Structure 1
Amino acid sequence: MSTWKQKRFWKQVSVAESQGRFAIELDGRRVKTPAKVDLLLPTRAMAEAIAVEWEAQVDAVNPHTMPCTRSANAALDKVQMQHSEVADMLAEYGDSDLLCYRADSPVELVQRQSEQWDPALDWAASELNVRLQTRRGIQHQPQDVEALQSLRDRVQALSDFQLAAFHDLVGMSGSLILGFAAAAGWRSPAEIWTLSRLDESWQEEQWGPDEEAQAEAEIKRQAFLHAKRFYDFC
């Protein structure tokens, strides 16, 4: 396996406006994506955040310390090429949304799910004009076709950069509704992440924490928080 890493070759990082978009320049040379597309960004705030990441590189370039750069690369190299397919894939979460599948027992868990998840469904009914129905148990029961189409249209309307962030908001939480709620700022991203972990938190209370599971959950939490930050940059 190759251990080669790109070395820092530049002295100055700058942001340059170009046709209503913003480019990152290293000593006057534009940064490109891995697919060799110019890294042209929709907002100055996003460009400045990415410029900070490039400036922070010392000797070898470490992509793991450049989350905004990675998300922008994904928007241009992946989402832009298959926007409709990605949007449809995420919209499918609405038909099996985490918030809609409720426990039969114990009563304490049933009550907690209702108290913490119902407000998110109420928010969706008010702000998205879609009311998803809850079910008991894990057996799939389809949601209303018109409601799902309305949600699909909203996902399809997102820009490539928004969709790149929305992908992680939905995928990490397991909920299309929580993805929309996070994007809209219904509650803080940390609060919304906690809502998505309600069942796991319950299990930890009953059986005790699992260190490996907690470490994996923390990685996902950080990715979720980053996705919200990147979405706001859009």
Structure 2
Amino acid sequence: MKRFYKRAASVVAENGFSIHLDGRPIKTPARNPLHLPTKQLGEAIASEWAAQGDEIDPVTMPLTALAQGALDQVAHERERVVRRIAAFSDSDMLYYRGDDSQQALADHQAEKWDPLLNWARARYDVSFTLTRGIMHRPQSKHTIARLSEVVEAQDDFTLAAMLSLVGLAGSLIAVLALIEGEYDAETLWPLMNLEELWQEQQWGRDDLAVANRGIKQAEFFAAQQFLTLCRS
């Protein structure tokens, strides 16, 4: 789409802040008003629109996309989104360790991942069943219910970020630690890619895997930024 405006600005609105292009408020793809909860998020999204060249490139506007997701998707399909995120309570990446032929990897995972699980045990009064290999082992009903309650309690904008984050990380526990301020994105990202980084150390670099990881890292950091701006 060609750029059709000269100026983008964040403007105080009835329900927070909105984005105006040449003085006119914009709407989401589903035609909902683009109302934002904080001044900081409004300014950051206005900056994304202002930074566009002759062509509007949605790839360079991750904060806008997350806000649109909160207003178009989460607000109208909240239960489904909550279920998708909470499903990771039963299949979190952190539960699965190297099998019996990968003891060094399993030890490395225990060293790096167990502190996250220990934090979650204490924070949410839950327990976890860990397994060697990739065969699913269900978590307790209490753990699934408790973590689902935590997800359900989040606001729509936080859920929009969480939906992106859990998909990229494969871990609800890690995302909750990020939300709670226990870990930052810079610390978490290598932990979420621990096995891939381990394999690189053993067998060498795969340029395609590195490139794909870089794309996902940018998305992960953008979602983390979105969370921060929503709470500023």
Interval of TM-score (by shorter of Structure 1 and Structure 2): over 0.9
Equivalent pair of 2:17/2:37 in contact (CA under 8 Å): yes
2:79 maps to 1:84: yes
In 2, the alpha carbon distance for the partners of 1:114 and 1:58 equals 47
1:72 corresponds, among 67, 70, 76, to 67
State the TM-score, normalizing by the size of structure 1.
Answer: 0.93
Matches within 5 A, 1:116-195: 116-195=112-191
2:209 maps to 1:213: yes
Equivalent pair of 2:109/2:194 in contact (CA under 8 Å): yes
Percent of paired sites with the same residue: 42
2:102 corresponds, among 102, 106, 112, to 106
Structure 1 counterpart SS, 2:165: helix
AA of the residue aligned to 1:25: H
2:10 maps to 1:10: no
State the TM-score, normalizing by the size of structure 2.
Answer: 0.94
Shift in Å at residue 196 of structure 1? 0.9
Shift in Å at residue 170 of structure 1? 0.8
Structure 2 spans left out of the alignment, 5+ residues: none
Structure 1 spans left out of the alignment, 5+ residues: none
Runs of 4+, deviation exceeding 6 Å: none
Shift in Å at residue 129 of structure 1? 2.4
Structure 1 counterpart SS, 2:129: coil
1:27 corresponds, among 13, 22, 29, to 22
In 2, the alpha carbon distance for the partners of 1:106 and 1:67 equals 38
Equivalent pair of 1:122/1:131 in contact (CA under 8 Å): no
In 2, the alpha carbon distance for the partners of 1:96 and 1:227 equals 21
In 1, the alpha carbon distance for the partners of 2:13 and 2:115 equals 43
Matches within 5 A, 1:199-210: 199-210=195-206
Post-superposition Cα deviations, 1:103-137, rounded to whole Å, max 9, x if no partner, equal 13333212111100000001111222222221222
In 2, the alpha carbon distance for the partners of 1:222 and 1:158 equals 23
Structure 2 counterpart SS, 1:203: helix
Shift in Å at residue 14 of structure 1? 2.1
Equivalent pair of 1:113/1:198 in contact (CA under 8 Å): yes
Equivalent pair of 1:87/1:155 in contact (CA under 8 Å): yes
Post-superposition Cα deviations, 1:23-54, rounded to whole Å, max 9, x if no partner, equal 11112200111111110011111101001111
Aligned length: 229
Structure 1 counterpart SS, 2:20: strand
